[in-house]
Structure 1
Amino acid sequence: MALNTSRTDAAALHEKPEPFWLDPKKRAVLFQILVLGVVGLIAWYLISNTVANLQRQKIATGFDFLGKEAAFEIGESLIAYDASNTYARALVVGALNTVKVSFIGIVITVILGTFIGIARLSSNWLISRLAAAYIEFMQDIPVLIQLFFWYAIFYETLPSPRQALNPMHGVFLCNRGLIMPVPEFHPAYRYVFLAFVAACFLVWGLRRWARKRQDETGKTFPVFRVSLGLLVGLPLAVWMALGSPFSLNVPELRGFNFRGGTTLSPEFMALLLGLILYTAAFVAEVVRAGIQSVSKGQREAAMSLGLRPAQVLRLVILPQALRVIIPPLTSQMLNLTKNSSLAVAIGYPDFVSVANTTINQTGQSIEGVALIMVVYLFFSLSTSAFMNWYNKKVKLVER
């Protein structure tokens, strides 16, 4: 036995090693290196060829143009801007305009889409059919056509400022947009805002405490009502303690336009309406599919415990449906943000519109397009990162 074992070991020592191309792991690494090398060569060829062509045509490259004077106006801006500012500031204005319409659009779209998705499953025949008709109608019309439609509604059907519609005091609707009053700033509002932030932290702590208490004792706590009281009552108490300062900057018609208040331009309103109504139809289908993914036994078990239909939906159905809803909902949020680039078609000064103007004036097309790609990549990655965090936060922990 000992002799046979020694012969076997000797044979193993003199056995030739297996060629690396027959090892699947080594072969996979080699293929990846080769592919990476080919991609690198293609990128080097494209970049070097582009640089050579630009030099041959004596076209300047780089981002030095960002520090030069823009010399063009922007109709809407969240920060101070005029034509004497730099291209960099103009691009920041465009990016902020994109963030504004995307953020407001996402919030309203999620609320509207959730409502329509739940209505689609209603036992009421009329409500269910109306929701289905809305979804079918909005999904079948391209979003760009919807933007043109709403833009035409504002400019072709609404009256001029002198004949503006006045549905309530201080609010006017005309072909210049929606003009409405805004509160004039007062130092007390800073403390009201801080009180609201403090109330948010208190609500967060209250929810954690109520969940832990329910797990330990089985007793529920009216979290929603108490949270609503904190979010409204605490800032209101601070506002009243500081003397209840309040004054409105009411718009007034002077000449051919309104002065004072704030104005939501027709371009912004048309873009916002188009994006919301179009994307909400897809969100509604996502919500409907998520709710239907929860088995009927869950609903029946909840009803047998004496929970009301609203409680069943809020406490049993939606928490389980979220794991199905969130991934496609994230895609719809990204679609809304990217579709906002169609604003250039109706004249809203978003980032793409400002970047196009910059490209036309400077000739820096490659740099301009690269900036557009980077900015929208940042928006998309930021939204995806937040939704992935939220998805992990609400996912069900299986035992």
Structure 2
Amino acid sequence: MGQYQWNWAVIFEEVYGTGEYYYQWLITGLGWTVATALCAWVLALALGSLIGTLRTVPNKWLSGLATAYVELFRNIPLIVQLFLWFFVLPELLPKAAGNWMKQDMPMPEFITAAIGLGLFTSARVAEQVRTGIMTLSTGQKNAGLAMGFTLPQTYRYVLLPMAFRIIIPPLTSEFMNVFKNSAVALAIGLTELTFQMRQITGEYAPANPIEVMTIVSVIYLILAFSVNRLMALIERRTQVPGYISGGGK
């Protein structure tokens, strides 16, 4: 068995019959990965914050609906959810709407992946927000109400600012997971980073596919590390004296 010949310059080789280069495909895939992950995270953070807050309100109907939402999206695998949004939903809608989704909707793979990943992640964010709120002492809530705040105002000005400071570490993990989970979008045809890697090492396989896989792994590592450092900076800037990160007091 011969010794493997490493060739790290393989990504600068031209893709046979296309006039393009492998590194261009990886850059395009990276762009779609970052765009999908960021759009999904904005949706997940906004919706997850709302759902997580509703899980702690006294109204049993609202908290029950919020709990059902979390259990639904958290317990169905992400890839199954993407298949449902992309392939099944258009068939269940009225014919005109279904045809629009299948034929006329701009960037259907990207939009479906961003929304599907956002909804899936929002359930996990909701649990972190709920935990952060429940970690706070009931005295803070009572103090806000005693000052004349309504319940929504108490959440807005007293509970949520403290809760978000506490849950920054677990939110960091969720933010990193969004970038990694975006790889699942290749299943519905989004040409993100993993899709491009698979295409390069498959149909258009160069002589040294191991290098391509290694380079893509390093790109994901850099993305995750960058998110980690960004969230660490936010944590340092927003920490409250007397509170330990992660929810301890």
1:380 maps to what in 2? 224
Is residue 82 of structure 2 the alignment partner of residue 147 of structure 1? yes
Change (3 A) 1:129 1:155: closer
1:67 maps to what in 2? 12
Mean Cα deviation higher: 99-108 or 272-281: 272-281
TM-score, scaled relative to structure 2? 0.88
Tell me: higher relative CO, structure 1 or 2? Use CA pairs within 8 A at least 6 residues apart: 2
> How far 1:283 sits from its partner (Å)?
0.7
After TM superposition, the runs of 4+ consecutive aligned structure 1 residues lying more than 4 A away are 154-159
Paired residues of 1:138 and 1:278 also in contact (CA < 8 A): yes
1:54 maps to what in 2? 4
Change (3 A) 1:164 1:294: same
> How far 1:71 sits from its partner (Å)?
5.0
Q: Once the two structures are aligned, what percentage of the paired residues are identical?
A: 32
1:16 maps to what in 2? none
Structure with the greater alpha carbon radius of gyration: 1
> How far 1:154 sits from its partner (Å)?
5.4
2:102 maps to what in 1? 175
1:213-241, Cα deviation, whole Å (9 max, x unpaired): xxxxxxxxxxxxxxxxxxxxxxxxxxxxx
Task: Give the gaps of 5 or more residues in structure 2.
Answer: 244-249
Is residue 193 of structure 2 the alignment partner of residue 351 of structure 1? yes
Paired residues of 2:39 and 2:118 also in contact (CA < 8 A): no
Paired residues of 1:154 and 1:175 also in contact (CA < 8 A): no
Q: Distance in 1 between matches of 2:190 and 2:71?
A: 28
Where in structure 2 are the equivalents of 1:191-270 lying within 5 Å? 263-265=106-108, 267-270=109-112
> How far 1:307 sits from its partner (Å)?
2.4
Change (3 A) 1:321 1:371: same
Q: Secondary structure at the match of 2:100?
A: strand
Q: Distance in 1 between matches of 2:103 and 2:179?
A: 25
Q: Which has the higher strand share?
A: 1
Output the aligned Cα RMSD.
2.3
- 2:19 equivalent among 58, 77, 84: 84
Paired AA for residue 314 in structure 1:
R
Q: Distance in 2 between matches of 1:121 and 1:272?
A: 27
2:206 maps to what in 1? 362
Task: Give the gaps of 5 or more residues in structure 1.
Answer: 1-48, 56-60, 73-82, 167-171, 179-262
Paired AA for residue 353 in structure 1:
F
1:286 maps to what in 2? 128
Paired AA for residue 264 in structure 1:
M
Q: Distance in 1 between matches of 2:84 and 2:118?
A: 14
1:221 maps to what in 2? none
Paired residues of 1:146 and 1:274 also in contact (CA < 8 A): yes
2:247 maps to what in 1? none
> How far 1:164 sits from its partner (Å)?
4.5
Paired residues of 2:43 and 2:115 also in contact (CA < 8 A): no
Paired residues of 1:319 and 1:394 also in contact (CA < 8 A): no
Is residue 219 of structure 2 the alignment partner of residue 371 of structure 1? no
> How far 1:93 sits from its partner (Å)?
0.3
Q: Which has the higher helix share?
A: 2
2:181 maps to what in 1? 339
Is residue 240 of structure 2 the alignment partner of residue 396 of structure 1? yes
1:15-51, Cα deviation, whole Å (9 max, x unpaired): xxxxxxxxxxxxxxxxxxxxxxxxxxxxxxxxxx9xx
1:346-385, Cα deviation, whole Å (9 max, x unpaired): 2110001111111222142211111121111011011111
